[in-house]
Structure 1
Amino acid sequence: MKVALIGPPLSGKTTVFKALTAGHSQTAKSQAGHVEIHRGVVKVPDPKVYKLAEMYQPKKVSEVEIEYFDLVGTLESEKKQEGEKTAILRESDELAVVCGLFQSSFEEGLASAQKEIEKVMEDLILLDYILVEKRLERMKKQSKGPATPQSKQEQNLLEKCLKALEKQVPCRKLEFAPEEEKLLRSYALLTVKPVLTILNLGEKEIPKTAEIEKKFEPFARQKDSLGIAACGEMELELSQLSESERADFMQDLGIEKPSSHRVATGSYQLMNLISFYTANQNEVRAWAIPKGYKAIQAAGTVHTDMEKGFIKAEVINIDRLFQLGSMHAAKEKGEVGLHGKEYPVQDGDVIFFRFNV
C-alpha cells in the first residue's frame, strides 16, 4: 500500500512524514535524479496477527505495510509538463494532504485548510485533465480507418472523464462499469484516488483534537475525504521515546493512539480495505484487500500460482479460531467452511488455499 504526502509549503508535511515513519526513513533521488523523495515503510499495527502466530510458531510474522512518500516541493511545475512528482503520485494508492493549523487559532486554521484542500483538488483535476486531453489527441492522430470496438470504448471513457474534469468534478464521483474500471486503472488518474486530510496541529490544540475533527467532518465528507487531526511535532517526539515512556506521555497529553495508527485506520476506511490472514509453520501474515474481493482474487494477492491453480478455500473467522484454540479443533466441530472462487472474503477471515499448479 503506497501513500503519497502532498501539501502547501510550511504545512509541516515533512514533520508529519517523520512522525508517521517514526523517524525511520530514507532520502533518495527519483530515477531521473531530479526530484528528492523521502520514503518510509510502516507496519500496520495488528495484535491478531501475533496472537495467530502463537498458535503456529512460524519462522516469520508479517503485518500489512504502508509505504509513505514525502515529495519535496509543490506541484506547480507539474502543470506545465507532467514530471516525476506526478508519476510518483499516480503510482500511489492514496494521497494524503497535510494542512498546517499550528500558526493560528484552529477556527482560522480550519478555514485556511479548506482553501488549501480546494487548491490541491483543483491541481489534481488539472493534472488529470491534461493527461486525458493528451491521450485523446494522440488517439485521434493515430487513428487510421474505422475505430475498433476497443479503441471506441477507450475514447468514450476518456471523453466521459474529460467532461467531468471540465466541470471541476473529480472522476471518483462518476459511475463506471466493471470493464471501464479495468481500463481506467491503466491511467492511474489522481482524481480517482482517495484523499486523506491530515490537520497538523500546534501542541496547545491537542486537547481539542476531537472537536477539530468533528468541525472539519462536513467539509471532508463533501470532498470524499476524511480528516485526522494530530500534532506532527509532538507525535515525532513521542515516536522517539521508549514504549513505556511514550505511553506515559500520551496519557498526560490525552492522546489515545499514535497518529501512525490513526492514519493507517483512516487509510483502510477511505480505501475500503479489509484484512485476511494466512498461516502455516513458515509464515503467519496479514493481507489488505478491497472489500468485496472474491476468494480467487485474494489467492492472487498471496501468489499468482494460487490464483491460476485455485481449487478451494478453507475459511474460518480469526476470532472464532481463537475461541476454539486450534485449526484441528475447528475442523472437528465443523466450523471451517469450504468455499469456491466466488466466495466474498470477509474482514478477519483466516484462509487456507487449496491449489494445484
Structure 2
Amino acid sequence: DKDAAIRVDVIKRCSVQAESEQPLRTLEFTPDESRIVRGLGLMTAKPVLYIANVNDDDVLGESEYVRKVREHAAATGAQVVPVCARFEAELAELDEADRGEMLESIGLPEPALGAVARAAYGTLGLQSYFTAGEKEVRAWTVAVGATAPQAAGVIHTDFEKGFIRCEVYTLDDLVEYESEKEIRAAGKMRVEGKDYVMQDGDICHFLHN
C-alpha cells in the first residue's frame, strides 16, 4: 500500500528527529507528508512565533538579548518579532497624527500589531484577500496556495461549488486608478478561472451559478 509506505517513512523520519532533540518543524515534507504529520498532532511540528518584549531604548530589537532569541529561532524553524509593550501602550493613547510622528521619530513604520499579524499569518501559512462593494469592504483569510474556488468557498460553500470565474485587481491598481470603473477602463481588471492561485491582497468579485 503506497499510502501506508509513505506514512511509515514519515513516522521514521519524525522519530529520528525527535531522538536527536530537534523540532520536527525544521524537516521538509511534501504536501502529502505534511498532511500525515498534521494528523499525528506532534507538538514540535507546530509553527512557533516568538514575541520578544524589549526595553524602551531598544524598540527596533537590536540588543544582544534579541539577537540570541533570533539565533535560537533560526536554528529551530521559528520567527521573532520584537515588541516594546510599554511603548505600544503609550502609542495607543495618542491620536493618529501624534502616533505617526512618534513612530517616525524612532524609525518604526507602524505599530507592532501589524508586524505581529503579518508574522503570525506567515507562520501559519495564511494570507488575506478582499471583497469590496458600495456598502462594505471585507478581508477573508485563506491558506497560501488556495485556488480561486477555494477562496470563494470561504465566503459560502455554494460559491465554491458553483464557481464560474473571478474578477481580480490589486490594491496598487486601486491606488493608481482610484475606482473600479477606471481600473476596468485601463484594462487592469483580470478575469481568472478555476486554476488561479490567490495572491495576498487580491481584491475579487466572484461569479457563480
TM range (shorter): 0.7 to 0.9
Match of 1:236 in 2: 89
Give the SS at the match of 1:262.
Answer: helix
In structure 1, stretches of 5+ residues that fail to align are 1-147
Q: Deviations over 1:65-103 (max 9, x none)?
A: xxxxxxxxxxxxxxxxxxxxxxxxxxxxxxxxxxxxxxx
Distance in 2, Cα, partners of 1:276 & 1:354: 16
> TM-score, with normalisation over the residues of structure 2?
0.78
Q: CA deviation at 1:168?
A: 1.8
Residues 187 and 308 of structure 1, relative CA distance in 2, 3 Å threshold: farther
Tell me whether 1:210 sits opposite 2:62 in the alignment.
yes
Question: How far apart in 2 are the matches of 1:207 and 1:162?
Answer: 40
TM-score where L is the length of structure 1 = 0.49
Contact 1:315 1:351 survives alignment (8 Å) = yes
C-alpha distance after superposition, 1:232-285 (max 9, x if no partner): 233234334444554555566x26232222212322343444332111234311
Deviation at 1:342, TM superposition (A): 1.2
Question: Structure 1 pair 237/332, CA: closer, same or farther in 2 (3 Å)?
Answer: closer
Select the residue among 120, 136, 152 that pairs with 1:267: 120
* Aligned position for 2:182: 329
The answer as to 2:144 corresponding to 1:303 is no
Distance 1:311 1:286 in 2: 21
1:44-63 matches, within 5 Å, as none
Residue 291 (structure 1) aligned to one of 137, 144, 154 = 144
Quickly say closer, same or farther: Cα 1:160–1:334, change in 2 above 3 A.
same
Which one scores higher on RCO, CA 8 angstroms, separation ≥ 6?
A: 1
Question: Counterpart amino acid of 1:210?
Answer: E
Going from structure 1 to structure 2, the CA distance change for 1:299 and 1:266 (only over 3 Å counts) comes to same
Q: Give the alignment of 1:313-352 within 5 angstroms.
A: 313-352=166-205
SS at match of 2:61: helix
Please give the secondary structure, in 1, of the residue aligned with 2:62: helix
Contact 2:37–2:45 (8 Å) recurs in 1: no
Change (3 A) 1:322 1:174: same
Q: 1:187 & 1:353 partners in 2: Cα distance?
A: 36
Deviation per CA, 1:127-168, whole angstroms, max 9, x where unpaired? Answer: xxxxxxxxxxxxxxxxxxxxx776665455434323322222
What amino acid is the match of 2:206?
A: F
Taking a change above 3 Å as real, the CA distance of residues 150 and 187 of structure 1, as seen in their structure-2 partners, is same
Question: Who is 1:184 aligned against?
Answer: 37
Provide the residue aligned with 2:130 in structure 1: 277
RMSD: 3.1
Structure 2 gaps of 5+ residues are none
- The aligned amino acid for 1:209 is G
Percent of aligned positions that are identical: 33
Counterpart contact for 2:60–2:82, Cα < 8 Å: no
Shift of 1:309: 1.5
Tell me, yes or no, if the aligned pair for 2:59 and 2:83 is still in contact at 8 Å: no
Pairwise mapping of residues 125-136 of structure 1 onto structure 2 (< 5 A)?
none
Q: Which residue of 2 aligns with 1:130?
A: none
Mapped contact 1:206–1:230 kept (Cα < 8 A): no
The CA distance in 1 between the partners of 2:54 and 2:141, in whole Å, is: 30
Q: Count the aligned residue pairs.
A: 207
Distance 2:190 2:87 in 1: 47
